[in-house]
């Protein structure tokens, strides 16, 4: 099964007429109550939709976000990324659609003018209405206000009939009412259940994965349809002191052999780490980590790419992440979620690669301290703390559509905590949904492989003897909603994942 699609559509394209960006006189109409108010310079929260089906669609989005930030729109939240069938004019390439939430002091017509200039700068030209375009930027909401003028209607008048607009819009909300502004957006739908009811009337979540709408994650020049099957990430530790296989793959020859083995056994991703993060591990410098990592990464990257697989770097150093991506890594896997190197988020934002943010309190030498093991409700608190890590990443410029979350089995958690999370992945996701439905809808990675809690439960003190328990944990995790599993033993876990995927597919057939 090919999980990757090219970002750039291959069909020939037309162009579309731009709306005039004149800014005539207008009035704001507050939705609560229905009274006119004057334009003010106060900061307003806005939602802006993005669409593209010409050229490198992801790069068009990246450029648009950069230009928005430079033009006075501070982006605070991003939706997932959707590939969708074209609407209205159907004989054209597939679209990418998303939306962002932000704040601005620009008036609505000033904002419209800024967005139209960005469209032009990215290459949008006159053409067919609803036809192909390199970028389309629409104001969906502007503060609590309605705006009606010759050139601008807010809320956007066709929100309610467009699943490719409503899906990203819903992602930008939490599952509860977050503020008066968000309450006003719900009221503007004119339905008692607000935007959520409007989305359900269109078909809601049943539309995603079928009917021409897919959630995707951009990696390199491809779009990863990560929800179609559970992906297996094989672990390659190039360290002398990792808890399970330290010292086994320090040589280039042994590392290459192990990568070939994992690929032949069905690994979708190879995750290379050159710094141990086991409990009480001593931290090495970024320079020493690079000395271990780069020779092996360079030796395996071409083979991994040739097999259509992905290469991940497991590091909490921004410098290591940057160098690894320059040398061919496709993803950054950070066990600290940006907490151990404050530059990590900004570096990854510039690298424009997916980011795995894991939950951990403290660092490897302190994570199992009594203070860091205090939880009242581990699923709720891990969800809340992961939300904070994701929010930091988004504010640094990493879109939610590039973020993968990991609850961090064994990191600042005891056996009972790990069991609660493994059995409560759905609860944890729902906790994350309170702040961001984009994170709730995004990919979830789990890494229980050979962890100490499995040894404690099964009386297996040696990590190498915990593979059967790992298979059971992986199966429980996949059936509980995990999308990616990180494992040492690829062969046995690939089989477990295939069975779980078949069970889930069978279940969906009857829903």
**486 given a catalytic annotation:** yes
User: What is the pLDDT, as a whole number, of residue 23?
Assistant: 38
Would you kindly state where each structural domain of the chain is located, as residue ranges?
4-215, 230-509
Letter string b/e over residues 160-180, b meaning 16 or more CB atoms within 10 A of that residue's CB: bebbbbbbbbbbbbbbeeeee
Which of 132-136, 179-183, 188-192, 402-406 is predicted with the least confidence, judged by mean pLDDT?
Answer: 188-192
- Report whether pLDDT(192) > 90: no
- Tokens 């609850």 sit on residue: 407
- Report whether pLDDT(187) > 70: yes
- DSSP state for residue 265 in the 8-state scheme: T
- Report whether pLDDT(337) > 50: yes
DSSP 56-80: SHHHHHHHHHHHHHHTTEEEEEE--
User: What is the pLDDT, as a whole number, of residue 30?
Assistant: 44
| Stretch 204-226: mean pLDDT | 90
Give the residue among 471, 494, 474 at the shortest CA–CA distance from 266. Answer: 494
For the beta carbon of residue 157, count every other beta carbon within 10 angstroms: 9
Which of 35-49, 216-230, 484-498 is predicted with the least confidence, judged by mean pLDDT?
Answer: 35-49
Q: Are 442 and 386 in contact (CB under 8 A)?
A: no
Catalytic residue among 16, 292, 361, 486: 486
Q: What's the burial of 129, exposed, middle or buried (CB within 10 Å: 0-12/13-18/19+)? A: exposed
- Report whether pLDDT(211) > 80: no
User: For residue 3, what pLDDT band results from cuts at 50, 70 and 90?
Assistant: low
User: What is the pLDDT, as a whole number, of residue 475?
Assistant: 98
User: What is the pLDDT, as a whole number, of residue 248?
Assistant: 73
- Report whether pLDDT(119) > 50: yes
- CATH, domain range 230-509: 3.20.20.20
User: For residue 209, what pLDDT band results from cuts at 50, 70 and 90?
Assistant: confident
- Report whether pLDDT(385) > 50: yes
Please give the Cα distance from 488 to 248 (Å, whole number): 12
**Tens digits of per-residue pLDDT, 411-446?**
999 999 999 999 999 999 999 999 999 999 999 999
Give the residue among 164, 174, 176 at the shortest CA–CA distance from 140. Answer: 164
**Tens digits of per-residue pLDDT, 310-319?**
999 999 999 9
Estimate to the nearest angstrom the gap between the alpha carbon of 314 and the chain centroid: 17
Q: Where are the alpha helices (DSSP H) in 307-364?
A: 318-326, 344-351
Give the residue among 379, 396, 494 at the shortest CA–CA distance from 444. Answer: 379
Catalytic residue among 146, 301, 451, 466: 451
- Report whether pLDDT(280) > 80: no
Judge whether 4-215 and 230-509 match in fold.
Answer: no
- DSSP state for residue 285 in the 8-state scheme: P
Topology annotation, domain 4-215: Alpha-Beta Plaits (3.30.70)
């Amino acid at each position: 099964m090919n999980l990757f699609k090219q970002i750039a559509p291959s069909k020939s394209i037309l162009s579309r007429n731009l709306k005039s960006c004149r800014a005539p006189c207008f009035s704001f109409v507050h939705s609560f109550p229905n009274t006119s108010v004057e334009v003010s310079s106060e900061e307003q929260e806005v939602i802006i939709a993005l669409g593209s089906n010409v050229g490198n669609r992801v790069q068009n989005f990246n450029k648009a976000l950069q230009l928005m930030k430079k033009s006075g729109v501070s982006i605070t939240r991003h939706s997932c990324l959707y590939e969708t069938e074209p609407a209205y004019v159907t004989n054209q390439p597939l679209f990418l659609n998303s939306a962002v939430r932000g704040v601005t002091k620009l008036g609505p017509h000033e904002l419209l003018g800024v967005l139209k200039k960005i469209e032009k700068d990215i290459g949008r030209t006159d053409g067919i209405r609803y036809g192909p375009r390199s970028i389309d930027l629409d104001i969906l909401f502007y503060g609590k206000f309605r705006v009606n003028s010759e050139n601008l209607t807010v809320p956007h008048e066709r929100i309610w009939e467009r699943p490719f607009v409503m899906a990203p819009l819903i992602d930008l909300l939490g599952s509860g009412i977050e503020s008066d502004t968000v309450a006003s957006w719900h009221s503007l739908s004119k339905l008692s259940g607000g935007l959520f009811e409007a989305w359900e009337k269109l078909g809601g979540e049943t539309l995603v994965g079928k009917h021409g709408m897919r959630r995707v994650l951009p990696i390199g020049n491809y779009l990863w349809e990560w929800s179609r099957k559970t992906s297996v990430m094989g672990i390659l530790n190039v360290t002398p002191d990792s808890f399970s296989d330290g010292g086994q793959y320090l040589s280039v020859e042994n590392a290459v052999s192990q990568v070939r083995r994992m690929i032949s056994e069905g690994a979708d991703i190879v995750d290379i780490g050159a710094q141990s993060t086991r409990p009480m591990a001593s931290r090495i410098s970024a320079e020493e980590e690079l000395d271990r990592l780069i020779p092996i990464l360079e030796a395996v990257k071409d083979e991994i790419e040739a097999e259509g697989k992905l290469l991940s770097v497991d590091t909490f150093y921004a410098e290591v992440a940057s160098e690894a991506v320059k040398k061919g890594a496709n993803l950054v896997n950070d066990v600290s979620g940006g907490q151990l190197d404050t530059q990590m988020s900004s570096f990854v934002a510039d690298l424009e690669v997916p980011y795995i943010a894991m939950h951990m309190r403290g660092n490897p030498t302190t994570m199992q301290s009594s203070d860091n093991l205090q939880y009242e409700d581990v699923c709720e608190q891990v969800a809340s703390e992961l939300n904070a890590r994701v929010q930091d990443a988004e504010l640094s410029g990493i879109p939610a559509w590039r973020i993968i979350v990991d609850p961090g089995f064994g990191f600042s958690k005891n056996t009972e905590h790990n069991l609660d999370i493994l059995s409560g992945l759905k609860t944890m996701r729902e906790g994350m949904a309170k702040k961001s439905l984009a994170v709730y809808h995004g990919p979830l990675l789990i890494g229980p492989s050979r962890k100490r809690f499995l040894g404690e439960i099964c009386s297996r003190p040696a990590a190498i003897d915990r593979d059967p328990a790992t298979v059971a944990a992986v199966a429980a995790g996949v059936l509980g909603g995990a999308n990616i599993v990180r494992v040492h033993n690829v062969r046995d876990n690939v089989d477990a994942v295939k069975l779980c995927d078949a069970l889930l597919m069978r279940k969906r057939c009857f829903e």
